């Protein structure tokens, strides 16, 4: 079968690869219909994704059509449209549960394998996935289903943070993950501030997400926080950049008693000023991936019209154009979300 393969950094090709077959009675053979391209994919293309081993079929934001189901799969039938939860935990690998999975934290399984990151993903004609990782919708189209994974990252982070409508929330980074955080904060009704050095992304957040308070200069956030005349300060900060310097700075934006949630990720160490951290009794947590319930919740919210994703997709490509388009998207400063139509 055909697949789009990252052979090495900056080398993406169309290629014949072995055809997938059903692995066991609980597996499902699916056909990708729409694949979202995200920062992880761009980093993999540029050779900056630390978990990638080449060659690799990328693609983990997936709206798929079911082609065939294993004999023990009763809740899905060929033709169903599903979102894919791309986090393959030890439960799906061999059933030998790690400490995290025994406690229900499958999103940070100690042996986690993510489609399109650790193992081949969805930029191919068909592939096999455990039935437990498919989330059915009879209402959403394939583009909407391909957005679920991105939205789930922010949704999970906001749930972990425990914020309420009384919080003032600063989101640092207005890329897709930051926007998914904003989308979920809006569901709660808290006031949102946004910081991004890219003015066009800030304007996008204002236009489509109703954000009133925005910053393109980090210094202005600290001045606002330190102002004696301001009764509204960030009681919760979400850093969605994955940038070390930004993550360190995010701790300085929180009001006394505030909470910082790191949604972005990298492999570098971050430095904390313990004096500031202790004096203000701050809380720091991390958020990784999402859980099955997050996917279920989001599909229901979208089906009920509570979440509108019509403005999310800014670029579209098809199977034949992606090899030329991906490098362009990698270098774009205006791209919000690009998707690939594989029909």
Angle at 151 between CA 322 and CA 339, to 5 degrees: 15
Asked if the model's pLDDT at residue 129 lies above 90, the reply is yes
The verdict on 35 and 127 lying in the same domain is yes
Number of domains in the chain: 2
Residue 79 sits in a domain of what CATH number?
3.90.180.10
Task: Check if the beta carbon of residue 176 is closer than 8 Å to that of residue 155.
Answer: no
Same domain, 127 and 158: no
How many residues can be counted in the chain? 343
* Judgement on whether residues 324 and 249 belong to the same structural domain of the protein: no
The verdict on residue 294 lying in a domain is no
pLDDT of residue 230: 57
Q: pLDDT exceeding 70 applies to what percent of the chain?
A: 98
pLDDT digits (tens, 9 = 90+) for 16-61: 988 877 778 999 999 999 999 999 999 999 998 888 899 999 999 9
At 70-92, the pLDDT tens digits run: 999 999 999 999 999 999 999 88
User: Which tens digit of pLDDT belongs to each residue from 191-200?
Assistant: 999 999 999 9
In a domain, 296, yes or no: no
> Could you tell me which residues come within 8 angstroms of residue 68 by beta carbon, excluding any fewer than 6 positions away?
22, 28, 29, 78
pLDDT of residue 203: 95
Q: Residue 99 falls within a domain, yes or no?
A: yes
335 assigned to some structural domain? yes
Residues 55 and 124 occupy one common structural domain: yes
Q: Is the pLDDT confidence value at 294 over 80?
A: yes
Q: What is the CATH number of the domain that holds 163?
A: 3.40.50.720
Residue 146 domain-assigned?
no
CB 136 within 8 Å of CB 114: no
Whether 115 maps to a domain, the answer reads: yes
Closest CA to 127 of 18, 38, 216: 18
Q: What is the mean pLDDT of residues 273-286?
A: 93
Sole residue written with tokens 């209402």: 139
Does 158 share its domain with 130?
A: no
Q: What token pair was written down for 343?
A: 């029909």
- Looking at 268, 286, 304, the residue that finishes a domain is 286
- DSSP string for 74-100: -S--TT-EEEE--EE-HHHHTS---HH
Do 336 and 244 share a domain, yes or no? no
Whether 34 and 73 map to the same domain: the answer is yes
Range of lowest pLDDT (32-36, 188-192, 214-218) = 214-218
Strand partners, 283: 259
Burial class (CB in 10 A: 0-12, 13-18, 19+), 208: middle
Q: What is the pLDDT of residue 154?
A: 98
Residue 141 domain-assigned?
no
Query: 297 lies in a domain?
Result: no
Q: How far apart are CA 188 and CA 92, in angstroms?
A: 33
Enter the pTM of the model.
0.95
Q: Token digits for 339?
A: 């998707």
- Which one of 286, 305, 329 terminates a domain? 286
If asked whether residues 164 and 282 sit together in one domain, one would say yes
Name the H helices within the chain: 39-45, 90-93, 99-102, 142-161, 176-188, 199-209, 218-226, 244-250, 274-279, 292-303, 322-331
Band of residue 139 on the pLDDT scale cut at 50, 70, 90: very high
Q: Is 264 found in the same domain as 162? A: yes
189 and 82 in one domain? no
Considering the domain architecture, whether residues 132 and 213 belong to the same structural domain is answered as no
Q: What is the largest CA-CA distance in the chain?
A: 66
Strands 61-69 and 27-37: antiparallel
Residues 6+ positions from 221 with CB-CB distance below 8 Å: 170, 193, 195, 215, 234, 253
Asked whether residue 131 falls in the same domain as residue 198, the answer is: no
Tokens in use for 87? 């986090």
* Residue ranges making up the domain that contains 270: 154-286
């Amino acid at each position: 079968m055909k697949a789009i393969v990252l052979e090495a950094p900056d080398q993406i090709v169309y290629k014949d690869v072995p055809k997938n077959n059903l692995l066991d009675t609980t597996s499902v053979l699916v056909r990708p219909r729409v694949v979202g391209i995200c920062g992880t994919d761009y980093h993999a293309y540029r050779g900056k994704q630390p978990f990638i081993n080449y060659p690799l079929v990328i693609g983990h934001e997936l709206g798929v059509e079911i082609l065939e189901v294993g004999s023990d799969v009763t809740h899905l039938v060929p033709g169903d449209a599903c979102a894919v939860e791309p986090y393959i935990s030890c439960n799906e690998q061999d059933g030998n549960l790690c400490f995290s999975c025994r406690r229900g934290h499958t999103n940070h399984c100690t042996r986690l394998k993510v489609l399109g990151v650790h193992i081949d993903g969805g930029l191919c004609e068909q592939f096999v996935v455990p039935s437990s990782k498919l989330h059915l919708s009879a209402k959403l189209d394939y583009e909407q289903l391909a957005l679920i994974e991105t939205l789930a990252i922010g949704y999970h982070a906001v749930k972990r943070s425990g914020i309420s409508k009384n919080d003032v929330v600063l989101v640092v980074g207005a890329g897709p993950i930051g926007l998914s955080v904003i989308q979920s904060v809006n569901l709660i009704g808290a006031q949102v501030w946004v910081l991004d050095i890219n003015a066009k992304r800030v304007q996008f957040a204002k236009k489509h997400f109703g954000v009133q308070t925005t910053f393109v200069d980090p210094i202005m956030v600290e001045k606002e926080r330190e102002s004696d005349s301001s009764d509204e300060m960030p009681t919760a900060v979400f850093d969605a950049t994955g940038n070390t310097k930004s993550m360190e700075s995010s701790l300085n934006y929180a009001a006394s008693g505030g909470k910082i949630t790191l949604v972005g990720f990298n492999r570098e160490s971050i430095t904390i000023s313990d004096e500031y951290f202790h004096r203000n009794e701050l809380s720091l947590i991390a958020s990784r991936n999402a859980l099955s319930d997050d996917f279920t919740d989001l599909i229901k919210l979208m089906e009920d019209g509570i979440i509108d994703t019509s403005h999310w997709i800014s670029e579209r490509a098809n199977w034949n154009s992606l090899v030329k388009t991906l490098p362009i998207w990698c270098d774009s400063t205006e791209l919000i979300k690009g998707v690939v139509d594989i029909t």
